[in-house]
């Protein structure tokens, strides 16, 4: 059995207020589930870990969600990706060649499930220039050249329109998570 490296992204986790979890407690929870070298990044539920089991990503997500429910009594969706998946869509970012590209104005919404055709149809004609988005499987790339302060294109918009569950990370966070995973 070979070791697989995963990046998990928890929706709605923070250090204070609603769904507060200390990152050290989250790391301990992952280790108790049999995940190796679990490491968190910033205070919003990003965990990079290794695992040699045979469960599918869906089964692993459910395992983590159940453990969080049991330990912290929070119902938190977990978006799970292998490092290979993230590397693959990282290179497919449709906005990297935009004029004046700035990673601080780019985000990825990681979705719990792949978008169906009927869900994608619900946002097909959406256009809020200069902001742009592109759906790619279980990710939605968002580029907001003027920043995210006034954009309508963010997680809650897509969740409401498409009836999906997701969590957003800015492009710098995605890059950092890949660097952490590469060192595992």
- pLDDT of 19 > 90? The answer is no
Total count of domains within the chain: 2
pLDDT band of 43, cuts 50, 70, 90: confident
> Mean pLDDT throughout 123-140?
95
Which domain range does residue 55 map to? 4-85
Q: Does 150 lie in the same domain as 101? A: yes
- pLDDT of 1 > 70? The answer is no
pLDDT of residue 161: 97
Q: Does 67 lie in the same domain as 99? A: no
> Mean pLDDT throughout 73-93?
92
Residue 176 within any structural domain of the chain: no
pLDDT tens digits, one per residue of 108-130? 999 999 999 999 999 999 999 99
pLDDT of residue 6: 95
Q: Does 96 lie in the same domain as 166? A: yes
pLDDT of residue 62: 96
Q: Does 96 lie in the same domain as 81? A: no
pLDDT of residue 109: 97
Residue 179 within any structural domain of the chain: no
Q: Does 126 lie in the same domain as 62? A: no
d(CA 96, CA 139): 15
Give me the CATH number covering residue 43: 3.30.70.1280
pLDDT of residue 180: 95
pTM above the 0.95 mark?
no
**Burial classification of residue 43, based on how many CB atoms lie within 10 Å of its CB (0-12 exposed, 13-18 middle, 19 or more buried):** middle
As a whole-number percent, the residues of the chain with pLDDT over 90 amount to 80
pLDDT of residue 20: 87
pLDDT of residue 86: 93
Give me the CATH number covering residue 126: 3.30.70
90 vs 46 pLDDT, higher one: 46
Consecutive H or E run containing 66: helix 57-72
Q: How far is CA 130 from CA 34, 110, 150, 153, 168, in A?
A: 45, 22, 11, 11, 19
Q: What is the mean pLDDT of the chain?
A: 92
Residue 177 within any structural domain of the chain: no
């Amino acid at each position: 059995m070979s070791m697989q490296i995963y990046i998990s992204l928890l929706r709605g986790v923070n250090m204070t207020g609603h769904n507060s979890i200390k990152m050290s407690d989250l790391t301990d929870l992952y280790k108790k589930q049999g995940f190796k070298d679990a490491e968190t990044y910033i205070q919003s539920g990003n965990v990079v870990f290794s695992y040699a089991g045979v469960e599918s990503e869906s089964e692993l997500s459910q395992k983590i969600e159940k453990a969080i429910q049991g330990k912290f009594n929070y119902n938190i969706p977990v978006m799970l990706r292998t490092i290979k998946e993230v590397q693959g869509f990282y290179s497919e970012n449709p906005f990297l060649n935009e004029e004046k590209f700035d990673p601080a104005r780019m985000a990825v919404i990681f979705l719990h499930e792949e978008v169906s055709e009927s869900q994608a149809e619900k946002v097909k004609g959406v256009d809020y220039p200069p902001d742009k988005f592109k759906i790619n499987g279980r990710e939605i790339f968002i580029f907001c050249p003027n920043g995210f302060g006034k954009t309508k294109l963010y997680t809650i918009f897509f969740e409401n329109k498409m009836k999906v569950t997701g969590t957003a990370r800015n492009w710098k966070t995605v890059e950092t998570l890949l660097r952490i995973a590469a060192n595992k």
